[in-house]
Every structure is written in structure tokens, then in C-alpha cells.
Amino acid sequence: MSQQTYLNGLMQFINDSPTPFHAVTSMTSQLKVAGYNQLDMANVWRLQAGGRYFITRNDSTIVAFQLPQAGALQRLHMVGAHTDSPCLKIKPNPEINNNGYHQLGVEVYGGALLHPWFDRDLSLAGKVVGRNNSGQIVSHYLDFKRPVACIPSLAIHLDRDANKAHSVNPQTDLPVLLGQALGDDFSFRDLLAQELKANGHEVEQVIDYEMNLYDAQPPALIGLNNEFLAAARLDNLLSCYMGLTAMIESNPTQGVLLICNDHEEVGSQSAEGAQGNFLMSVLQRIYPTAEQLHQVLTASTFISVDNAHGVHPNFADKHDKQHGPKLNQGPVIKVNANQRYATNAVTSAMIKELARQIELPIQTFVVRSDMGCGSTIGPITAAQLGVRTLDLGVPTFAMHSIRELAGSADAQITHKLLKQFFETEMIIPH
């Protein structure tokens, strides 16, 4: 597959996935085409050697796996990512009528860079729960797929210090402009009901929703030679797509598994998050006895794939000079002495060996010793499962902005590395 073809698929996936609900729906569709069968926790599982399966929770977290072939080593090569991204979520009672303008109140989800949200063409997407014409409670995914809102900046003439120091108050500065002269009885729930009906859904009344704003500008390749990929939600839909395509295209003999969790950006402490029991409960269903499960986990390896900080040419002093990853120079092994990343010498050596085998570049990131460090689902999953773990990611600029930037070559390079991981029966020393 050419790099351009791979990037086209990635950009379409991002465009189709404005929320974790939509991302999981997109992944589910591709897994079904690839021969994966959907499971339900409430049902009896009849699993077969070499079988391909997937299961979801809350429609926002997904686990997909292929069991080992008969007679193969009983272990799992696992990759993890997350479906959520920092964004602005619509409040339960969001309607604001101010000076003849209709606005919506929002909450900030995750550690978002807030300034880039101003003066963007924004759309709405999420999950809506309502009552249909028969009185039944139903839920639907909704994507307006067009710009319907914005957050205008205050003109510099009225804020002469805007380019010096300007903090953003989420309560007063971020209510989003939705329209004008919509009427005193304007209801956001009624708007959702109308949009659902326009999309062919029978909804008499909207009871509740989980809706968020997103940038309506589609992904694009930029740079004089298309060196860069600019898109919303690269953190971490990029990793979801690389893990998904690597699993679908691989031909393993040992077991392989992909998990894409929700709620990583807010700490992972939920039923769908990495601190929840979803992955462990799936593994317990696959390996019903405690002895068998612990034997498999002891032989298994987990790679947490989440974006890394590329060295920014305007802010190179924010990096350790010996560990400044560059875009388009391959994925990054993420290391932290305080276990904010789960990489150790064994897992780092493993991924370097895999990269050497297929002649792929690889880099290393360590945060400056005088700066704090973010984290991933890697340490959480390592602690939950007791499995050897590596943190890996594609170098990125503007992480947690409404629009992020990555190297256009790095996605397919990392895809190839993950595919090699899924297919290689490596014996790892303890």
C-alpha cells in the first residue's frame, strides 16, 4: 500500500470520527469487513483457535482480538490506544440568550489548548437518547457534518493586551455562538430532535445527550512536499487507526489484541477507561482459569501507543537536547524514570529489535528533568495486568490543540512496526 493510500484512509477515519462513539463505529465497520465477529458480555462465548472477535463497552471503548492458532504459543501481543480527545462538551441546560444572540454553555473536556478554539468553524456531534413515536427509549449517534457554531475572538481594539497575556475563562469566554433571533423558546433538545429527524431517525422527544463541538475543517496534507498531516484529534485517533490497520493486515500465529479506551484524557477512571475492568474481564472470558490467564499474561507484551512531543523548532529549549524527536523520523519510545511511561529496558530493546529487522527508524523521548511529564494508559494497564509494557508514539506538534500536526511519513512507518509486532514470535527475557 502506498503512503498516500494509507494517509487517505487515515484522514477519512478521522473525518468520520468526531467523537469516541463515531470512532468505535468506524472501527467496528472495518473489523466486520475483515471477518471479526462481535461478542456480547451477556452471552456465552464459544471461541475457536485462530478466531477473530471484538466487543465494545458504552459504544466508546473497543477490544478486538485474534486467538492463537492451534498449537501456537499461548500469549498475546497487545496494542492499546484511546478514542477520546480534548474538546468542548455541551452542558445539560446550555441555552444562553445574550443581547439577541443564542449561545450554548460548554464544559472543557481534558487538558485542551483553549486559544485555538476561537474563530474556528465548529460543528456538533455525539450521542442522543430520546423517545421515539412508539414511546420507546432509543439512542442514536448524531453528526451535524457542517459548521453551525463559532467562538469569536474579542477584537484587538478592545483588548490591547491580547498578544501579551490573555487567559481564557472557560465559564465566560467559551459559550459558543449558535445563531441569532432563534426565539425566546429556543431549545437545544428540540434542535437535536429536528436534526435526527432530518437524518431519518424517529425521535419524538430528546431526553438527554452527550454532544461536543469539533473543528469542521477536514484533515489535510500540508507543506511544500506534503510533509505534514494536519488534523483534529490526532491524539489519539492516529494511534487507533495504526493499531487497527496493523491488526487487520497482520497474519499472526500467536494471539493479538487491540484495545482503544475512552476517557484517557480525563484520567481513565471509568467503566470504559483503562482504570476500569473492561480489558481484564475480556481476558478472563478468553482464559477462564486464573492459572491459565496468569501464564498467558506472563508471556505477553503490551504496547501503549499515544502521541509523543516532537521537538518544536521555535521552542527547542523545551526538550532535552539528547531526546528531541523529529517529525518524519519514525515513532518514539517514551521513557520516564517516575513511571509516567511504562517502558523498561526489556521492552525498549524488543521494539528496537523489531524496527531493526524491517529497517525502520525509531527515536527516544525523555522529558526535560526540570519539567513535568504527561502519562498514558501504559502504566495503568501494566499495573492492572502485570504485563510487560512499552510506551510508543508518533511525534506531534500542538498536542491537545483543536488542530494538531504530525509527519506524513510516520503513520505508515508506525503501522509497519506494529504489524511486525503482531506477527513476530519473539522470546523476551524477564
DSSP 98-137: ETTEEEEEEEEESS---GGGTT--EEEEEEEEEE-TTS-E
The answer on pLDDT for 429 being more than 80 is no
| Chain mean position to CA 227 | 22
The answer on pLDDT for 430 being more than 70 is no
Q: How far apart are CA 179 and CA 215, in angstroms?
A: 17
Confidence class for position 428, pLDDT limits 50, 70, 90: low
The mean pLDDT of 270-288, rounded to a whole number, is 96
Residue 391 contacts by C-beta under 8 Å, 6 or more apart in sequence? 303, 304, 306, 333, 334, 335, 341, 342, 343, 376, 378
| Chain mean position to CA 205 | 31
Confidence class for position 94, pLDDT limits 50, 70, 90: very high
The mean pLDDT of 134-152, rounded to a whole number, is 96
The mean pLDDT of 272-286, rounded to a whole number, is 96
Kindly list the structural domains of the chain, giving each domain's residue range(s) and its CATH number in brackets, ordered by start: 3-85+232-423 (3.40.630.10), 87-215 (2.30.250.10)
- As a dihedral over the C-alpha atoms of residue 332, residue 234, residue 383, residue 420, rounded to 10 degrees, the angle is -50
Amino acid, res. 183: G
DSSP state for residue 39 in the 8-state scheme: -
The answer on pLDDT for 151 being more than 80 is yes
| Mean pLDDT for the chain overall | 95
281 phi/psi in degrees, rounded to 5:
-65, -35
DSSP state for residue 341 in the 8-state scheme: S
Q: Which of 91-95, 156-160, 232-236, 328-332 has the lowest mean pLDDT?
A: 156-160
Where do the H-state alpha helices sit in 102-230? 188-198
Confidence class for position 256, pLDDT limits 50, 70, 90: very high
pLDDT tens digits, one per residue of 317-364? 988 888 989 999 999 999 999 999 999 999 999 999 999 999 999 999
238 phi/psi in degrees, rounded to 5:
-55, -45
Q: Is the peptide bond before 133 cis (omega within 30 degrees of 0)?
A: no
The SS3 of residue 200 is coil
| Chain mean position to CA 132 | 31
Q: Are strands 205-215 and 332-334 parallel, antiparallel or unpaired?
A: unpaired
C-alpha cell at 135: 414511546
